[in-house]
Amino acid sequence: MKYFIHSVFSHRWAILFAILTGIIIAFPQFYFRYDHKDIYSGIDLMGTDAEIAYWSRVQEVRDGYFSLGNVYSTEGKNLPYLQPPLSEIIVASLGKSLFLDTKDTILLGKFFFPMLIFLLIYALVYQLTKSKIIGLICSTTVLLSSDFFSLHTIADLFVNHKIKNTFLDYARPIAPQTHLLFFYGFLLLFWLFLEKKQWIYGIMSSVVLGLSFYTYPYTWTFLYTFLGCLIFVLIWQKKWFDIKNIILIGFSSLIIAIPYFLNLLKVFEHPLYSEVSSRFGIIKTHIPQIGVTVAVLLIIFLLFFPRKRNKRYSFCLSLVVTPLVVLNQQVITGRLMQPGHYHWYYFRPLLIIFLIIIIFEYLNQKIKQVSNQKFWYRLIIGLIFTVNLCNGFLIQFNSYNFHKSNFIEKQRYGPILHWLNNNIAEKGEIFTNFEISDLISAYTSLNALHSCFAENYLVSDKYLEEVLFLEYRLDGLDDKQASETFFKDRKKISSYIYGMYYREKFGDYGKIPDRRINHLVNQYNRFLSLSLPYIFTKYQIKYIIWDTAKQPNWKLNRYPFLSEIYQKNGIKIYRVK
């Protein structure tokens, strides 16, 4: 107990800054409730990429569907998962253990998980450098100022005078908030094992590595590639004992991952796998890639990283070489994964960490030769902390002001969600627009099949086509207008039906080939020949929600097989008879 208290006191600044970072990241969602308490109806502020999709997955786990086979439909709940569920299970379990609903669970997670990531980065860097200051600078910079290492952000800031209006990356639930706990947790435990030769750390690192299979494919693929690179380095150094231990850790973790591979086998055998894999942006190619961040990281490391500690140098060199391998695995496999996921959560943070280690270990040597050394050293450190904290605050503040009007408007949907939770219990689908569909999936236990993220599950392209066609048909689109409308909406259509495929293949959703749009026009004309009651029965649609302000052309009151059961704030709910 005395050792624990001493450790906490010794690293009190890390704990303090971790808490402060968590507050900065979570504060906008909390403040929105206070700032608009007079109109707040339970719909929280969001603003990170695809954030509501992760809310829906957490809600699905809370509803008892731990496999996450399909979040948006009553069909497919027990299908093999495409995105592993452990992160959502962790978040949902945390909320349930504290008797929190989904929105409060997410709010807690926005404070708690970035704080843990901060402490893990700090602990890793501290163990590598034995410097608390370097650990603190790395942690605050990665979580609050990663955007300074993006050319696009720098251009926006200094040329266009624009501050980022999407919240900090680490404000997004699940990815990266929970995934990165396994990444940095493994690196910390594995380094302690290499350094101290204590098998308790080896066993724990093996467990974390095995569990990482159930979180995020980019995590375990990066970590296993890192182990492979380290083995090659150690072969060069003829350290056979260390190699044996690393292989043992790697194989032990694979035992934990056996259920994951069994699930993966079911996915590969599923008849829809080829369609789904393309929607995830997996492109068939053998062309090598060299990212700018990866090249800069490798050059800086080889030129400037201190080599006096051989074990540390081998460990860090392997981490630096790993991005080159994972970025070019398609040369052998022929399947290119989305490189952006590696860049945002692995390459860029590693660049930041190693750049700071190099600069400050150099400064620690040179500062001794400068008069008033403590003053200048503290000035530099204070300036970095000030910039990081101010940057994090300004991004969150600017993003709050940018998004709040949209979520003020969304409060009109709060009463609907409350009504659905209290009055609809039967199984069956709800059909409505994209916006309400995603809110239903995130805030209720019901299924709304018309989601922007439905393509991320084992459903066919034809399913996605016909669900989208139904929206156009209710909007009054006839066969004569279809071609013009589809070409105008090509980005929306490309994203909804084909996911990331055309963006990854050609660089933009809108570059979907014209022939594909023409094919969809022909399919839509055939769809028009089907009766609406038949379509509703086919897709088990039990209720339709009509936002009369957003979809004025739907005119659901003209269909005799629909009966109105709710109306408030220009929103109507119909039951299919």
Q: Which two tokens stand for residue 483?
A: 């071609």
Q: Are 440 and 417 within 8 A, CB to CB?
A: yes
Q: What phi and psi, each to the nearest 5 degrees, are found at residue 336?
A: -90, 120
Taking the domains of the chain in order of start, what are their residue ranges? Answer: 2-259+370-398, 460-576
Residue 24: C-alpha distances to residues 78, 135, 140, 388, 407 (Å): 38, 19, 11, 11, 20
Q: Are 102 and 95 within 8 A, CB to CB?
A: yes
DSSP 174-230: TTTTTHHHHHHHHHHHHHHHHHH--HHHHHHHHHHHHHHTTT-HHHHHHHHHHHHHH
Residue 341: C-alpha distances to residues 208, 264, 318, 381, 417 (Å): 20, 20, 19, 31, 33
Q: Is 99 helix (H, G, I), strand (E, B) or coil?
A: coil
Q: Which two tokens stand for residue 262?
A: 């069994």
Q: Which residues of 134-163 are buried (b: 16+ CB within 10 A; e: fewer)?
A: bbbbbbbbbbbbbbebbeebeebbeeeeeb
Q: Is 85 helix (H, G, I), strand (E, B) or coil?
A: coil
Q: What is the pLDDT along the chain (577 residues), one digit of tens a residue?
A: 677 777 778 889 999 999 999 999 999 999 999 999 999 999 999 999 899 999 999 999 999 999 999 999 988 898 999 999 999 999 999 999 999 999 999 999 999 999 999 999 999 999 999 999 999 999 999 999 998 877 666 666 666 667 778 899 999 999 999 999 999 999 999 999 999 999 999 999 999 999 999 999 999 999 999 999 999 999 999 999 999 999 999 999 999 999 999 999 999 999 999 889 889 888 788 788 877 888 888 999 999 999 888 999 999 999 999 999 998 888 888 887 887 788 889 999 999 999 999 999 888 776 666 667 777 778 889 999 999 999 999 999 999 999 999 999 999 999 999 999 999 876 779 999 999 999 999 999 999 989 989 999 999 999 999 999 999 999 999 999 999 999 999 999 999 999 999 988 888 999 999 999 999 999 999 999 999 999 999 999 999 999 999 999 999 999 999 999 999 989 999 999 8
Q: Which two tokens stand for residue 202?
A: 């080896």
Q: Which residue has the tokens 């040597």?
A: 365
pLDDT one-digit tens code per residue, 463-476? 999 999 999 999 99
Report the C-alpha gap between 504 and 84 in whole angstroms. 22
Cα diameter, the chain: 87
Q: Are 490 and 510 within 8 A, CB to CB?
A: yes
Report the C-alpha gap between 286 and 306 in whole angstroms. 35
Q: Which two tokens stand for residue 138?
A: 């790395």
Q: Which residues of 346-372 are buried (b: 16+ CB within 10 A; e: fewer)?
A: bbbbbbbbbbbbbebbebeeeeeeeee
